[in-house]
Structure 1
Amino acid sequence: MNIKPLLNYITNFVVLTEAEEAFLTSKVIYRKYLKGQYILQQGDICKFQCFVISGCTKTFYVDDSGQEHIVMFSIADWWASDMGSYITQTPADYNIQCIDKTELIMFPYDVMEELFSEIPKLERFFRKIIERGLVASQKRVVRRFSLSAKDRYLYFRNQYPKIEKLIPQYMVASYLGITKEFLSKIKAQLLEEE
């Protein structure tokens, strides 16, 4: 199991002893997914918080008309989960699908309390992760309502250059809340301005 990237990431927030690292390793699940495979489907209960070792996932909602709305991408050192479903153990609002071959470290819901009990500093770690996720989500909502589509694209391109190179443009458009044709117009306009 390739858990070293996770341990390195955790070190940014808390320091684990060797015994704590060994206990954590014994409780998490390492899994590989193929491009196109689902980690979670809308309506199922989210059983895992997933740390991405490699690859890329998209978190999205499909509305009643079948339209896909991407709310998040996750690449290496990022997290993928439907937190509402995970915390409440109720049906998921979102799908999580692999855009590329993806390796994950998965934290099962049914062992989290044991992890928190045995390694209390993990509770602090997850609190910090959830706080960061909440702040990012709130800022995204503000950008969605306050920035033009062009400015949202420029922000996305500047903040997440690795992601833009990994995913098809129609997914970028869905994430930005615009059509792929409109995104093409924005990109053409930016080329003219250069």
Structure 2
Amino acid sequence: MALILQNIDKIVSLSDREKETILSKIEIKHYKAKTVLLNAGDICKHSYFVNSGILRSFNINDNIVEHVLQFACEGWWIGDMYSLITQKPGNLYVEVNEDAEVVLLSKENQEELFQEIPKLERFFRILTENSLVANQERLMDNLSLSAEERFEKFCSKYPTLIQKVPQKQVASYIGVTPEFFSKMKAKMLRK
């Protein structure tokens, strides 16, 4: 069974016909590392589901500093939700960190699937709710936890990513400069 169907099946049960319908509405592509799937300022036309590899979403501020919002590895969804939902230009980049096989579900096909398979609206509602909860938790962590605590939480939440993504991206995700991150890590290793 395709990984995306397993992902959906964790929340809603699908008949064989519904699975076939979903598979007919998606596109699978292979991307090399460093491929940009979405640029800031573009309108997000797809949700991306990772079959293999790693993707990340990030923003670049006026001082040309990257702020990593999300990493997505096998079995995770990613995209610019603001732009996808509003169909207005977004402010996020989505880039391939590690060679990846990605499922693309267009906004148009997603809407058609909602009509053909109404329980998919429930699936995407739950996915969106989980994302909202995770984003709120991350915001609260950034306001209340030290950089060391945020790093420890990152390591426990994403144990496989810490070895696969560049340290400067981990620093950006936890909200510190690469220089501070190096010093903090060295200090933590000495403990």
- Shorter-chain TM-score bucket reads over 0.9
- Residue 41 of structure 2 aligns with which residue? 43
1:33 is matched by which residue type in structure 2?
Answer: Y
Q: 1:156 aligns with which of 154, 157, 164?
A: 154
1:107: Cα distance to partner? 1.0
Partners of 1:113 and 1:175 lie apart in 2 by 32
1:58: Cα distance to partner? 1.2
**RMSD (CA atoms):** 0.9
Q: Deviations over 1:154-190 (max 9, x none)?
A: 1111111111111010110011111112111221122
Partners of 1:114 and 1:62 lie apart in 2 by 33
Q: 2:106 aligns with which of 105, 108, 116?
A: 108
> TM-score scaled to structure 1, two decimals?
0.96
Q: Identity of counterpart residues, as a percentage?
A: 40
- Residue 189 of structure 2 aligns with which residue? 191
1:48: Cα distance to partner? 0.3
- Residue 125 of structure 2 aligns with which residue? 127
1:10: Cα distance to partner? 1.0
- Residue 143 of structure 1 aligns with which residue? 141
1:44: Cα distance to partner? 0.5
Moved >3 Å (runs of 4+):
none
Q: 2:180 aligns with which of 158, 182, 189?
A: 182
**Structure 1 residues without counterparts, runs of 5 or longer:** none
> TM-score scaled to structure 2, two decimals?
0.97
Task: Report SS of the residue matched to 1:99.
Answer: strand
1:170 is matched by which residue type in structure 2?
Answer: K
